[in-house]
Chains A and B, each alone.
Chain A
Amino acid sequence: MATSSTDVPIGPSTAAQECPSAHLTVDDRVGLLRAMLLMRAIEERAMNLYRQGKVPGSFYDGFGQEAVSVGATWAMAPADRLCVLHRDLGAHLVRGVAPAAILSQYMGREAGITSGRDGNVHFGDLRTGCVGMVSMLPDMMLVAAGMAMAFKLRKEQRCALTWFGDGSTSRGDFHEAMNWAGVQRLPVIFVLENNQFAYSTPIKQQFAVNPVERAAAYGFPGVSVDGNDAEAMFEATRAARERAVCGGGPTLIEAVTMRMHGHGAHDDMKYVPKALVEEWRQKDPIDRQGNRLKELGVDVDALVKEVRAEVDAAARKALAGPMPDPATATDRLFASRDDDEVLLEDGAAPWSGFRS
């Protein structure tokens, strides 16, 4: 029997919550907020730069979805590997990519992560253990599964994680990756960012059965999480990671959230009912985390100021940097034997649990 779970977006509860994880210190909780603030500030700045014509092409952001990438990445260890998608800037920030490098990336500058070879969030800094996404969705699910396969073959206690949207679950690679990961019981975490829309297409035209329910059919658990709660995202990912590195196999985490901006900077999202946006505005992940911390006596306003200053400085630095040299456009198409040992490196892993 088909479920009717896709007819109405299942929003997270607005009720105030205590910390949903017993594994977060106050510093962790502040760190989560700081990373979300940084993500929002960078993307807001980038949107302005786009409107000023300084960001070529198009621009995509994850406004309102900051908790999904920040919370999940907070649970990742240095040797874990990630494939980061287009609403997940927070993952790069948690893993240690500098804001100036990100703004340079958006502007196609030499100092961008891809030195101008790819745009917007299509990047991965190999020094942080991240593989840059390709546009074809959800191709990176298979790449993440492959990294996890290598970990398992070598008997290493590591895992891989990737994100993907509700729309991309309709493509074949979703099935191939879910099936492969299930058959081989891979240490991989799949994070489905259900932000209710794929460009203009609502989820009810995307699937008859919510993909989180399909996980069971592939032989592993699927859990639904409040995607606007960074701490809940962390906790679900922490538990999934623990299962993964102990040989328990994959987990599908559905992060229930809402795309609060258009698909890209060009999209006025007239197709989204205003009331729906208003409803979700009340569930803003940054307000949510900020309120929690204010109750604990944290000076959130000072944090906001500090982050803003950091992004100002990053923007100045990025704007001062040169564009790439056109003479390099055909360089580095093929690797030489000297590049043979170039692999992904370990990234930052700020969670206190990795230090104890």
Chain B
Amino acid sequence: MTEMTYLRAISDGLRTEMRDDERVLLMGEDIGVYGGAFKVTDGFIEEFGADRVMDTPLAESGIVGTAVGAAVVGLRPVCEMQFADFVSCGFDQIVNVAGKMLYRQGLPVNITVRLPSGGGFSGGPFHSQNPEAWFMHSPGLKVVAPSTAEDAKGLMIASIRDPNPVIYMEHKNLYRRVKGEVPDGSYETPFRARVAREGDDLVVIAYGQMVHTALEATADLDGASIMVLDLRSLVPLDEEAILGAVHHCSKVVVVDEANYTCAAGAQVSALIAERAFEDLDGPVLRVATPDVPIPFSPPLEAAVLPSVERVREACRQLLEY
């Protein structure tokens, strides 16, 4: 075990897998000589060379499209979007080319696309988004979103090994804020949910940065016993763990940092409505970012992103129900 930041854990996952498997190559803008906009691949080019840590043209469709081509002839590309927001420029290649290849013609596309996502530091409308739901809605793609350093490494290794296109959501605001003990060497984190804290009276379901918001909001909430379920994987969605938690607690708050409509949490809520109605002792409450672009100025951004206070308020309201 070594203590490291969430960011270093992502790097460690990439490095471990690159050492183990020479088919793995990294592709992205400014990831080589510069080491990436967030320095996730700092020092990689020295160890692995410019062919495997490829500085590409500024072309997201190009990055994903060529990665698909490389994958179907035997490489395992890991693509970095400089910010998750720019994936919109590579969206078509992910959704229409990568996502449908296996279903249509039986050809697996083993690519991983890293999306540095999320807000909280005045990134504004184009550097703060959480676009995971776009990909949840597109068949053939897996979507994962670690919240801890240990899972960041384990999910990175598992994503690279998974023979499908995997969208790996890495939250920028966790990069240096979150630290933890990370196992040395190679290991995989399963695409399943994890109980971040046990509890009996209510469960908060979240993923990514919102796991930390939920933990903080419910650490001491008028003595209530509150479970926090960290989804870790959005596709596949761990339905069993969600339904089990609802059965156990009977009250649910679902938190998304993404915009409210059709967010991952909307799917979780729909699942609960369909399959756990009898287990509920109150309405499912949702906390999410309202359906506006993420504003730049600190007070405006703070007004829309789900805060510890808003999560706490939702929990209180539901506990009293």
Contacts and interface: CB of A to CB of B under 8 A. Distances in A.
A344 B69 contact: no
B254 to A, nearest CB: 25
Interface stretch (A67-75, A129-137, A239-247): A129-137
Contacts of B106: 126, 332, 342
Interface stretch (A85-93, A175-183, A199-207): A175-183
Interface in A131-145: 131-132, 134-136, 139-145
B263 interface: no
B62 A142 contact: yes
B59 A179 contact: yes
B100 interface: yes
A270 interface: no
Contacts of A131: 69, 72, 101, 105, 107
Interface in A169-200: 172-173, 176-177, 179-180, 183
Contact of B70 (A123, A150, A333): A150
B88 interface: no
B33 interface: no
A149 B69 contact: yes
Nearest to A183: B57
A118 B56 CA distance: 33
Contact of B51 (A124, A153, A334): A153
Nearest to A139: B97
A134 B75 CA distance: 21
B104 A114 contact: yes
A337 B100 contact: no
B262 to A, nearest CB: 20
B25 interface: yes
B105 A142 contact: no
B105 A113 contact: yes
A340 interface: yes
B173 to A, nearest CB: 30
Given A139-B93, A180-B59, A340-B110, A114 B105 contact: yes
B105 A335 contact: no
Contacts, number: 143
A124 B105 contact: yes
Contacts of B74: 150, 343
Interface residues of B, number: 40
B61 interface: yes
Interface in B161-207: 161-164
A275 B110 CA distance: 50
A150 B75 contact: yes
B62 A176 contact: yes
A151 interface: yes
Given A136-B92, A335-B102, A147 B164 contact: no
A183 B51 CA distance: 14
B114 interface: no
- Most B Cβ at <10 Å: residue of A114, A336, A342: A342
Given A134-B97, A136-B92, A142-B93, A117 B70 contact: no
Interface in B34-67: 51, 56-57, 59, 61-62, 64-67
A248 interface: no
A147 B65 contact: no
Interface string A73-101: 00000000100000000000000000000
Nearest to B71: A146
Interface in B95-153: 96-97, 100-108, 110, 139-140, 142
B68 interface: yes
A311 interface: no
B73 interface: yes
A179 B59 CA distance: 10
A185 to B, nearest CB: 13
A9 to B, nearest CB: 30
B72 A343 contact: yes
Contact of B61 (A126, A140, A142, A151): A142
A122 interface: yes
Contacts of A336: 163
A143 B68 contact: yes
B70 to A, nearest CB: 4
Contact of A134 (B64, B100, B110): B100
Given A136-B96, A139-B93, A335 B108 contact: yes
Contact of A334 (B97, B104, B140): B140
A131 B64 CA distance: 16
Given A340-B108, A342-B106, 9 more contacts: A113-B105, A124-B107, A132-B104, A134-B96, A146-B67, A176-B59, A333-B102, A342-B107, A343-B107
23 contacts: A113-B105, A118-B104, A132-B104, A132-B105, A135-B96, A136-B96, A139-B93, A142-B62, A142-B64, A145-B69, A146-B65, A147-B72, A153-B25, A176-B59, A176-B61, A176-B65, A179-B57, A183-B57, A336-B163, A340-B163, A342-B106, A343-B74, A344-B107
